[in-house]
Structure 1
Amino acid sequence: MCYNKKKHALAGKGTSMKKITIITGHYGSGKTNLAVNLALRLADAGEKVTIVDFDIVNPYFRTADFAKLFEERGVTLAASMYANTSLDIPAISFDMERMAYEDGYLIIDVGGDDAGAIGLGRYAEGFSAYVPDQLDMWYVVNRYRYLTEEPQETLELMYEIEAVSRMRHTGIVNNSNLGKETTAETILRAVPYAEEIAAQAKLPLVCTTCRKDLTVSVPDILPVEVFVKPVWEE
């Protein structure tokens, strides 16, 4: 099997997506919404892309909620057979190692915190051995979420994910928001927070997300649509 070595532009000068992008983050950080946006962005650019719902702890698989949208936009979805059921069975019904070697891009949406990331450990050795230069693991941060309001709190959670997954993050994504109450100022206030996390972790700040209807003047801004919403906003 073979895989493409090209990179796809993401946001800003020099920011790009590799063959495999693993998305992690604290519960409610917005990692699933980011994963959905990245997958659709690639598909709309004519790229072959597969998105993996890798939350094997929570039986309510949020990425799998968008199966119809993915089908309409040409994105392949891989999720457990128990996704969106009431069965709490941590089972994987797809071959992620095979997906890693197939042509196209692979986006892996991992469950929140260390409990959700523990399943990644089984793939750590294989990914490191065969596609190390074509893999990114991005940690999504939201300054306004409980337990991640301070850089040190956020870093501790990130390191817990690395410990159980036996993989290291390669970048930070600033997805700080207050849901529908988000303003341009909300995002601007969170930029120093994200920069501090990146500096302490010695990792690049990949991008700052921004709802498409807002205008925010910061480097490497990534406009996104809000697909994942609280029940009371749907």
Structure 2
Amino acid sequence: MLNDNRVRIIIGHYGSGKTEFSVNYAINLAEKGKKVALADLDVVNPYFRSREKFKLLQSYGIEVESSYVEGSGTDLPSISAGILGPMQNESYDFVMDVGGDSMGARTLGRYHEYLVEGKYDMFCVVNANRPETQTVEGVIHHIQSIERTSRAKVTGLINNTHLLRHTTVEDVLKGQELCRQVSKELNIPIKYVSAIESVAKDLPKDLEGQIMPIKMIMREDWM
């Protein structure tokens, strides 16, 4: 993950685990001694937002930017101007958690002028157990609709195929095959294979992409 470009944009359909991955990814960077900022750009879906873990992220020294108005209990359909700081300041490792569909990606489009090709990565989180991304055609349609709206290019895939705490090795391997086919069609690599820690330890070591064990941070134990 240290070899990724400094600005990392994380996209993925609703239920893909995009935010779970983003939060774990940011924490991993912080644990490696990086100066990290995370932007919650999801102004469409009010549930399982990365900004909900503000205090946890702050405890790791991670700066959080979002559309939430502190003390109001509400969000605005816009993002704080503070996002431009870590976007332009090269001392930051910057993670951007973007809305789950092309409508949500419109927020990213406003920063197009700051996203220089070769200076950012945009990773698409794929969950092969979600209806919209169960097929190669579905994943490609999702990627292309995000790219059109955001005017940014996907540079890598993340296999995050899961059934929450009921995830099995077989689920992840099913998703890996789907990602392999999408990778071949679009000529973009599989960058990460993420799974809960109990599953990640049993995955084959020769999978394409870095295996990234993740903690269930966004969902409480009772969920």
Select which of 48, 54, 57 maps to 1:70: 57
When residues 177 and 60 of structure 1 are mapped into structure 2, their CA distance, relative to the original with a 3 A threshold, is: closer
2:11 to 17, 24, 39: 24
Q: Match for residue 103 of structure 2?
A: 115
* Partner-residue secondary structure (3-state), 2:111: helix
Cα deviation code 1:16-50 (max 9, x no counterpart): 32210000010111110110011000111111000
Alignment of 1:74-93 (within 5 A): 74-82=61-69, 87=74, 89-93=76-80
CA RMSD across the alignment? 2.0
Question: 1:52 touches 1:78 (CA, 8 Å); kept in 2?
Answer: yes
Aligned to 2:214: 224
SS of the residue 2:133 aligns to: coil
Contact kept, 8 Å, 1:140 with 1:175, in 2: the verdict is yes
- Cα distance between partner residues in 2 of 1:67 and 1:38: 15
Q: CA deviation at 1:133?
A: 2.6
Q: How does 1:39-58 map to 2 (within 5 A)?
A: 39-58=26-45
1:3-28 CA distances to partner (integer Å, 9 max, x unpaired)? xxxxx53xxxxxx3221000001011
**Secondary structure in 1 matching 2:64:** strand
For residue 25 of structure 2, the aligned residue among 38, 41, 49 is: 38
Residue 85 of structure 1 deviates from its aligned partner by 6.2
Q: How many residues align?
A: 217
User: In structure 2, what is the Cα distance between the partners aligned to 1:212 and 1:178?
Assistant: 14
What is the CA distance between 1:197 and its match in structure 2?
1.1
1:65/1:84 contact within 8 Å kept: no
Gaps of 5+ in 2: none
Give, in whole Å, the separation in 1 of the partners of 2:25 and 2:136: 25
Partners of 2:70 and 2:45 in 1: how far apart? 9
Letter in 2 for 1:171: G
**Which SS does the other structure have where 1:182 is aligned?**
coil
Q: Which amino acid aligns with 2:77?
A: P
Identity %: 32
Aligned partners of 1:120, 1:84: CA distance in 2, in Å? 25
